[in-house]
C-alpha cells in the first residue's frame, strides 16, 4: 500500500515540476475561439506558470520552452460538465448506495475524477453524492491540493429531498427504516437548516429535487412538484446570503416554474417547460442542463422492455421540446448526469445535443463558456485567452464538422500540467 502511494506521489511531483518550471508551447493544426467560432490555423499556445501566456498562429518561443507537436488536432478550452455524480457508478444505483460504505464510495469517486479529467473534463459540478453526504468535500480538496488528479469541482454534498420524495427509499419494508440517498427538508425553515449544515461541511452550492417521480403519456411529462415557490425562494435567499446558488432537478412544470421564479442557477433535465418558464429562464439567465446522455444510456441498458419503452417516450418528448427551449433563448450548459453510466464517456452528451438541435459550436459553447459561467469561473475558465488558466484539450480533426471528435480526446492539460499526451 505504502509503495503504491509513493509511486503515485512521485509521478505527480515529476509532472508538477515539469509543468511549473518550463514554459510549454502547444502546436496544432487548429485552435477554436469558442466565443466567435473562429478557427485559427495553424495554432500555437504558449503556457507559462499554469496560465495561457500567448496564443495565435505563432507565439514567442522562449529558449527554455518545451514544444509539443499535436499534429492534425484542434485545441479547445478544457471541457466542463455541469452535472456529474462522481459517487455513483454503473449498476443498480439505489443498491450501491445501500451496500457500499462511504469510504468505499469515496475511493471509487477519486478514480472517477481521474477518468473525467483524462476524458478532457477540467471543471465539473457534482450534483449530489446520493447518500455519501459531504464526502465530496474531501475529493474536491484533494484535487485542489494536487494530491489526486481530477477536474476543478463545485460540489453540493447530498441532494435535498422531501419525505417520500424523488430519492427517498420508498417501497422498502418500513420496519427496516431504510435511509434515503438524499437529506430531508420539509419546510422553508428545514431547507435553511439543511443548507447551512451542508455549507458548513464544504458544499459550494445546494442541489434540490424539485420534481419526481415522472410519468409520460401522450407527449406530456407529468411530475409532482416537491417544494413550493416560497420554500425554494427561502433556499435561494439563504444560499445567496453567502454568495452561493441553488440548482434543481426538475423535469417539468409547475416545479420548474417555481424554481425559475425563485431564481435558481440551473434547471436540470427539464424535459418539458412552459412558455412562461422558458421566458423567465432567458430573462434571469437560468441555465437549462438537458442531460440527454443518461437517459440515452438507460434506454439501451434497461432491465425490462417496459422500462426501455418508458424512457424512450421521455426522450421523444425531450427531443421535441429542446428545440423550443433553444428558440426561446434559454441558455444551455452541458451536463451529462454521468455516474449511472461509465465515467469518462460523457462527451457523448455533445453528440446528443447536436442530434437534438444544437449546432456543433453551440454544443461546444454549452460545455465550455456557459459551463464556466454557471460554475462562477467565467473570468478564469471556459475560453482560450491570455491570463486564463491553461486548461486545454486537443481533439482529432475539426469538431465543428464532426462533434464526435470530443469523444476522442487526445491531449489534456489542466493549469499547465499535462495529464494526457497523444
Ligand atoms: Zn443527476
How far is it, in rounded angstroms, from Cα 164 to Cα 157?
A: 20
CA of 82 to the centre of ligand 1 (A): 10
- Tell me what pLDDT residue 97 has: 87
Percentage of residues in the chain with pLDDT exceeding 70?
A: 95
Give pairs for 89-93: CB < 8 Å, separation 24+: 89/339, 89/343, 90/301, 90/340, 90/341, 90/342, 93/130, 93/181, 93/340
Distance 69 CA to ligand 1 centre (A): 38
Give the CATH fold of the 79-374 domain: TIM Barrel (3.20.20)
- C-alpha 56 – ligand 1 centre gap (Å): 38
What confidence tens digit (pLDDT) does each residue in 295-327 have? 999 999 998 999 999 999 999 999 999 999 999
- How many A from CA of 240 to the centre of ligand 1? 23
Which residue from 368, 339, 365 is spatially nearest to 89, judged by alpha carbons? 339
Nine-digit cell string for 350: 455533445
Domain 2-75+384-420 coded CATH 2.30.40.10: yes
CA of 84 to the centre of ligand 1 (A): 6
Res 41 pLDDT > 70: yes
Q: pLDDT tens-digit profile of 65-83? A: 999 999 999 999 999 999 9
CA of 200 to the centre of ligand 1 (A): 23
CA-CA distance, 140 to 385, in Å (whole number)?
A: 25
Has residue 1 got a pLDDT over 60?
no
The pLDDT, as a whole number, for residue 20 is 52
**Distance from the alpha carbon of residue 127 to the mean position of ligand 1, in angstroms:** 6
Tell me: the pLDDT tens digits for 107-153? 999 999 999 999 999 999 999 999 999 999 999 999 999 999 999 99
User: Taking a C-beta distance cutoff of 8 angstroms, is the pair 136, 126 a contact?
Assistant: yes
Task: Compute the distance from residue 6 Cα to the ligand 1 centre, in Å.
Answer: 35
Calculate how far, in angstroms, residue 339's C-alpha sits from the geometric centre of ligand 1. Answer: 8
Q: Hey, what's the torsion of the CAs at 139, 168, 201, 251, to 10 degrees? A: 70
What count of other Cβ atoms lies within 10 Å of the Cβ of residue 7? 10
Name the pLDDT band for 14 (thresholds 50, 70, 90).
very low
Q: How far does residue 388's CA lie from ligand 1's centre (Å)?
A: 29
Say if CB 232 and CB 252 are below 8 A apart. no
Task: Tell me if residue 226 falls in helix, strand or coil.
Answer: coil
Q: Hey, what's the cell of 365? A: 459553447
- CA–centroid distance, 21 to ligand 1, in Å, is 39
pLDDT tens track for 260-272: 999 999 999 999 9
Is the confidence at residue 19, as pLDDT, over 50? no
Mean pLDDT, residues 31-45 taken together? 98
Q: CA angle, 229 as apex, 223 and 234 as ends, to 5°? A: 130
Question: Is the pLDDT reported for residue 388 higher than 50?
Answer: yes
Distance 174 CA to ligand 1 centre (A): 26
CA 271 to ligand 1 centroid distance, Å: 14
Q: How remote is the CA of residue 282 from the centroid of ligand 1, in Å?
A: 23
Complete DSSP assignment for 65-94: -EEEE--SEEEEEPEEEEEE-TT--SS-HH
Q: What is the pLDDT of residues 83-108, one digit of tens each?
A: 999 999 998 877 898 899 999 999 99
Domain boundaries, the chain: 2-75+384-420, 79-374
Cα of 147 to ligand 1 centre, how many Å? 26
Amino acid at each position: 500500500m505504502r509503495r503504491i502511494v509513493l509511486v503515485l506521489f512521485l509521478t505527480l511531483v515529476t509532472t508538477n515540476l515539469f509543468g511549473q518550471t518550463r514554459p510549454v508551447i502547444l502546436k496544432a493544426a487548429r485552435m477554436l475561439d469558442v466565443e466567435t467560432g473562429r478557427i485559427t490555423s495553424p495554432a500555437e499556445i504558449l503556457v507559462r506558470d499554469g496560465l495561457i501566456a500567448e496564443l495565435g498562429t505563432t507565439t514567442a518561443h522562449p529558449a527554455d520552452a518545451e514544444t509539443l507537436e499535436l499534429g492534425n488536432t484542434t485545441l479547445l478550452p478544457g471541457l466542463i460538465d455541469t452535472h456529474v455524480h462522481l459517487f455513483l457508478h454503473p449498476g443498480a444505483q439505489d443498491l450501491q448506495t445501500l451496500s457500499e460504505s462511504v469510504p468505499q464510495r469515496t475511493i471509487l469517486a477519486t478514480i472517477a475524477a481521474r477518468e473525467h479529467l483524462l476524458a478532457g473534463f477540467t471543471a465539473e459540478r457534482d450534483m449530489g453524492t446520493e447518500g455519501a453526504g459531504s464526502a465530496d468535500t474531501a475529493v474536491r480538496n484533494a484535487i485542489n491540493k494536487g494530491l489526486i488528479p481530477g477536474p476543478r469541482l463545485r460540489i453540493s454534498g447530498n441532494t435535498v429531498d422531501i419525505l417520500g420524495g424523488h430519492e427517498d427509499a420508498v417501497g422498502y419494508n418500513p420496519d427496516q427504516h431504510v435511509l434515503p440517498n438524499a437529506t430531508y427538508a420539509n419546510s422553508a425553515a428545514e431547507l435553511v437548516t439543511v443548507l447551512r449544515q451542508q455549507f458548513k461541511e464544504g458544499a459550494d452550492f445546494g442541489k434540490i429535487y424539485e420534481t419526481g417521480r415522472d410519468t409520460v403519456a401522450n407527449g406530456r411529462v407529468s411530475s409532482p412538484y416537491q417544494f413550493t415557490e416560497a420554500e425554494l425562494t427561502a433556499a435561494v435567499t439563504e444560499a445567496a446570503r453567502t454568495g452561493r446558488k441553488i440548482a434543481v432537478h426538475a423535469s417539468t412544470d409547475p416545479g420548474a416554474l417555481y424554481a425559475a421564479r425563485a431564481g435558481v442557477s440551473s434547471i436540470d433535465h427539464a424535459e418539458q417547460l412552459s412558455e412562461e418558464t422558458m421566458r423567465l429562464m432567458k430573462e434571469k439567465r437560468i441555465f437549462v442542463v438537458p442531460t440527454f446522455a443518461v437517459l440515452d444510456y438507460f434506454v439501451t441498458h434497461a432491465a425490462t422492455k417496459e422500462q426501455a419503452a418508458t424512457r424512450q417516450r421521455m426522450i421523444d418528448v425531450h427531443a421535441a421540446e429542446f428545440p423550443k427551449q433553444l428558440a426561446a433563448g434559454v441558455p444551455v450548459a452541458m451536463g451529462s448526469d454521468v455516474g449511472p453510466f461509465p465515467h469518462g464517456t460523457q462527451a457523448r452528451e455533445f453528440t446528443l445535443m447536436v442530434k437534438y438541435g444544437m449546432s456543433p459550436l453551440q454544443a461546444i459553447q454549452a460545455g465550455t463558456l456557459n459551463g464556466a459561467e454557471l460554475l462562477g469561473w467565467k473570468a478564469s475558465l471556459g475560453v482560450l485567452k491570455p491570463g486564463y488558466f491553461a486548461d486545454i484539450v486537443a481533439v482529432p480533426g475539426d469538431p465543428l464538422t464532426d462533434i464526435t471528435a470530443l469523444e476522442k480526446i487526445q491531449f489534456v492539460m489542466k493549469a499547465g500540467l499535462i495529464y494526457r499526451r497523444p
